[in-house]
Amino acid sequence: MHEIADVEQELRRAAPHQLVGVVEAALGKRYGARWVELRLADYGLRTLQLVERTPGAAPAVPIHDSPQGRAFGAQEPHVTLGFEGVLVHLPVTVRGDRLGVLSVAFPAGADVGPALPALGQVCDALGHEIMVAERDTDLYVLARRATRLTLAAEMQWQLLPGRSCARPEFALGAHLEPAYAIFGDNYDWSVSAGRLNLTVTNGMGEGIGAALLTNLAINALRNARRAGLGLADQAALADQAVYAQYRGTAFVSVLLLSFDLATGEVEAVDAGSPRLWRLRGPSVEAVSFEAQLPLGMFEDSPYVPERFQVLPGDRLLFGSDGVYDAVSPEGESYGERALARALSGTRLLPPTHVPQAVLRELAVYHGSSPLEDDALVICLDWHGTPSTVAV
Q: Report whether 171 contacts 197 (CB < 8 A).
A: no
Q: pLDDT band for 4, please (50, 70, 90 cuts).
A: confident
> Which whole number is the average pLDDT over 29-49?
96
Q: Report whether 146 contacts 60 (CB < 8 A).
A: yes
Comparing 337 with 125, the larger pLDDT belongs to 125
> Which whole number is the average pLDDT over 167-183?
95
Q: What is the mean pLDDT of the chain?
A: 93
Amino acid sitting at position 316:
L
- What digits encode the pLDDT tens for the residues 136-150? 999 999 999 999 999
Q: How far is CA 363 from CA 194, 216, 327, 360, in A?
A: 38, 30, 10, 5
Q: How far is CA 344 from CA 147, 190, 280, 281, 313, in A?
A: 33, 28, 10, 10, 14
Tell me what pLDDT residue 246 has.
97
- What digits encode the pLDDT tens for the residues 274-319? 999 999 999 999 999 998 999 999 999 999 999 999 999 999 999 9
Tell me what pLDDT residue 391 has.
39
3-state helix/strand/coil string of 104-143: EEECCCCCCHHHHHHHHHHHHHHHHHHHHHCCCCCHHHHH
Phi, psi of 301 (to 5 degrees): -70, 135
Q: pLDDT band for 390, please (50, 70, 90 cuts).
A: very low
- What digits encode the pLDDT tens for the residues 350-363? 999 999 999 999 98
- What digits encode the pLDDT tens for the residues 229-262? 999 999 999 999 999 999 999 999 999 999 999 9
